[in-house]
Amino acid sequence: MRAIPTELVDRYEAEGWWTTDTIGDLVATGLAAAPDTVFRVHSAVRPWAGTYRDVELVARRLAAGLRERGVGPGDVIALQLPNWMEAAAVFWAASFLGATVVPIVHFYGRKEVEYILRSVTPKVFVTAERFGHLSYQPDLSADVPVVGVVGRDFDDLLGDEPMAGVLAVDPAGPALIAFTSGTTRDPKGVVHSHRTLAFETGQLAGIYPPDRARQLTAAPVGHFIGMVNAFLIPIVERNPVNLIDVWDPTIVLELMETDGLNVGGGAPYYVMSLLDHPDFTPGHLAAMKYAGLGGSAVPAAFTERLAALGITAFRSYGSTEHPSITGCRYDKPESKRLYTDGNPMPGVEIRLAEDGEILSRGPDLCIGYTDPALTKAAFDDDGWYRTGDLGVLDEDGYLTITGRKADIIIRGGENVSAVEVEEALLGMSAFAEVAVVAAPDARLGEHAAAVVRLRPGHDSPSIDEMRVHLAGVGLARQKWPEELHIVEEYPRTGSGKIQKFVLRQELARGQKSGVPTVSA
Mean of pLDDT values over 463-480: 89
Residue 519 has pLDDT above 50, yes or no: no
Phi, psi of 361 (to 5 degrees): -155, 155
Distance of CA 107 to the CA centre of its chain: 14
Q: State how beta strands 48-51 and 76-80 pair.
A: unpaired
Residue 60: DSSP 8-state: H
Helix (H) and strand (E) counts in the chain: 17, 28
Give the number of other Cβ atoms within 10 Å of residue 356's Cβ: 13
Give the Cα separation of 464 and 449 in Å (integer).
14
Dist. CA 455–CA 33, nearest whole Å: 45
- Between CA 303 and CA 293 the distance in angstroms is 9
- Comma-separated ranges of CATH 3.40.50.12780 domains in the chain: 18-202
* Residue 113 vs residues 105, 109, 137, 157: alpha-carbon distances, Å: 9, 6, 10, 22
Q: Please, where in the chain does CATH 2.30.38.10 lie? A: 298-406
Q: Where are the alpha helices (DSSP H) in 184-232?
A: 194-207, 224-231
Mean pLDDT, residues 448-455 taken together: 95
User: What CATH class is the domain 18-202?
Assistant: alpha beta
Q: Give the range with max mean pLDDT: 152-166, 254-268, 294-308, 434-448.
A: 152-166
C-alpha separations of 148 from 153, 269, 312 in Å = 6, 33, 43
Helix (H, G, I), strand (E, B) or coil at 192: strand
CA-to-CA distance for 284 and 291, rounded, in angstroms?
13
Asked which of 32-41, 80-89, 260-269 is least confident by mean pLDDT, the reply is 260-269
Inform me whether the pLDDT recorded for 92 exceeds 80. yes
Q: Which residues contact 519 (CB under 8 A, 6 or more apart)?
A: 482
d(C-alpha 309, C-alpha 334), whole Å: 14
**501 — pLDDT class (breaks 50, 70, 90):** confident
d(CA 450, CA 467): 11
Does the pLDDT value for residue 517 go beyond 50? Answer: no
Burial (CB < 10 A; 0-12, 13-18, 19+), residue 457, is exposed
Residue 512 pLDDT more than 60?
A: no
* Distance, CA of 117 to CA of 104 (rounded, Å): 10
Interstrand relation of 385-393 and 408-411 (parallel, antiparallel or unpaired): unpaired
Q: pLDDT band at residue 515, thresholds of 50, 70 and 90? A: very low
Q: Between these two residues, 441 and 445, which has the higher pLDDT value? A: 441
Strand, coil or helix: what is 21? coil
Q: What pLDDT is recorded for position 297? A: 67
Residue 64 has pLDDT above 90, yes or no: yes
The residue with greater pLDDT, 401 or 42, is: 42
Strands 124-128 and 146-150: parallel
The region, left, alpha or beta by phi > 0 then psi within -120 to 50, assigned to residue 162 is beta
Asked if 471 and 457 touch (Cβ cutoff 8 Å), the reply is no
List the CATH code of the domain at 414-509: 3.30.300.30
Report whether pLDDT(183) > 50.
Answer: no
Q: What pLDDT is stored for residue 516 in this prediction?
A: 40
Is residue 398 within 8 Å of residue 340, measured between CB atoms? Answer: yes
Which residues fall within 8 angstroms of residue 486, CB to CB, at 6 or more apart?
452, 453, 454, 460, 514
* pLDDT of 307 over the 90 cut: yes
**CB 499, CB 182: distance < 8 Å:** yes
pLDDT in the model for residue 395: 95
HSE at residue 398, side-chain half, CA atoms within 13 A, is 21
Instruction: Give the range among 380-389, 435-444, 448-457 with minimum mean pLDDT.
Output: 435-444
Closest by CA to 390, choosing from 409, 407, 405, is 405
Question: What is the C-alpha to C-alpha distance for residues 218 and 263, in angstroms, rounded to an integer?
Answer: 8
Q: Which band of pLDDT confidence, cut at 50, 70 and 90, is reported for residue 511?
A: low
At residue 96, what are phi and psi to the nearest 5 degrees?
Answer: -65, -35
Sign of CA dihedral 181, 184, 187, 188: negative
Phi, psi angles (nearest 5°) of residue 149: -120, 115
pLDDT, residue 185, reads 56
Using the predicted structure, report yes or no on whether residue 398 has a pLDDT greater than 50. yes
- Residue 214: which residues within 8 A CB-CB, separation 6 or more? 239, 240, 242, 259, 260, 261, 262
Structure letter (DSSP) for residue 406: T
Q: What is the mean pLDDT of residues 141-167?
A: 97
Query: What residue spans in the chain does CATH classification 3.30.300.30 cover?
Result: 414-509
Predicted pLDDT at 413: 64
Mean residue pLDDT across the chain = 91
In CATH, 298-406 is 2.30.38.10: yes
Most confident of 381-395, 399-413, 467-481: 381-395
Tens of pLDDT, residues 198-255: 999 999 888 888 888 789 999 889 988 889 999 999 999 999 999 999 999 999 999 9
pLDDT category of residue 339 using cuts at 50, 70 and 90: very high
Quick one: CA dihedral 473, 477, 481, 482, positive or negative? positive
